[in-house]
Amino acid sequence: MSYKILSKKELCTNQYEITVEAPYVVRNARAGQFIIFRAEKDGERVPLTIADVDKEKGSLTLVFMAVGYSTKKLAQLNEGDELVDLVGPLGQPTHIKKYGTVVCLAGGYGAAPCYLIAKAFKEAGNKVYMVMGARTKDLIFWQDKMKNACDELFITTDDGSLGEKGFVTQVLERIINSEKVDYAIAVGPMPMMRAVADMTRGKGIYTEASMNPIMVDGTGMCGACRLTVGGETKFACVDGPDFNAHEIDFDEVINRTKIYKDIERKRDENCNLLKMNK
């Protein structure tokens, strides 16, 4: 099976969008699911949430940040190159139904998977607000696509260089104070998703968070992506990635993620040293 890269563009510094030929994956892909790819034969398995699909062309769009060895390797590939393999769709789709008023909150590159999610909620008959947040304007992308996927788009930046200065939670609070919100979903950094959960807790707003801990096999066998939800052990790759945000033990997830990131950083340093010594 060929997984040819059909297009590639740099959205902003170190952040890329690629479209890959994958008709068998696209056929059953739904909002919120992810894939696992390998950029080279002996490379690691890396999960990426599906950002968009074109079922007629049999292609899927992925957005990623080139921060580790494998994503940097992926960023070096160009149109016409092929991925070694690509598996999916994996995980459970986002729970799409008609809630009423839905707020999608995207932090950083979490905006990519939020596009399909917001689009699906709107097609289900919901009133959809999208709130995109990033550190600065250079990290905001897909504005036109997002406008088409929702009823109203809000943008926040930490430095105020685009949209409203501040965080996505302040826009969420304003929406909650102005009308009844029936459902919220947060996709992005753990602290941002926890802040959203803290804000909606006790307000009768069912809230989900799309969890993105370290994954290895994507089938629940390795246990790397385990987390505690409502006092029970869950696996983000097979039980999620979306979970009731009010029941997630965020402290546990954040602490475990720090450990894996330290290991990953040391591994990347060793890989670079081996390349230099060849």
Q: What is the pLDDT of residues 103-116, one digit of tens each?
A: 999 988 778 889 99
CATH among 1.25.40.10, 3.40.50.80, 3.30.365.10, 3.40.1190.10 for 94-210:
3.40.50.80
User: Could you tell me which residues are beta bridge partners of residue 87?
Assistant: 36
44 pLDDT tier (thresholds 50, 70, 90): confident
Please give the order of strands across the beta sheet that includes 34-38: 5-12, 15-21, 59-65, 46-54, 34-38, 85-90
Over residues 180-189, the pLDDT tens digits come to 999 999 998 8
* Cα distances (angstroms) measured from residue 21 to each of 6, 76, 204: 7, 18, 42
- Give the residue range(s) of CATH 3.40.50.80 domains in the chain: 94-210
Q: How far is CA 233 from the centre of its chain?
A: 22
Question: Which two tokens mark 209?
Answer: 């968070």
Q: In which residue ranges of the chain is CATH 2.40.30.10 found?
A: 5-90
CATH code of domain 5-90: 2.40.30.10
Convert the pLDDT of each residue in 193-247 to its tens digit.
Answer: 999 999 999 898 999 999 887 777 777 777 778 889 999 999 888 898 999 999 9
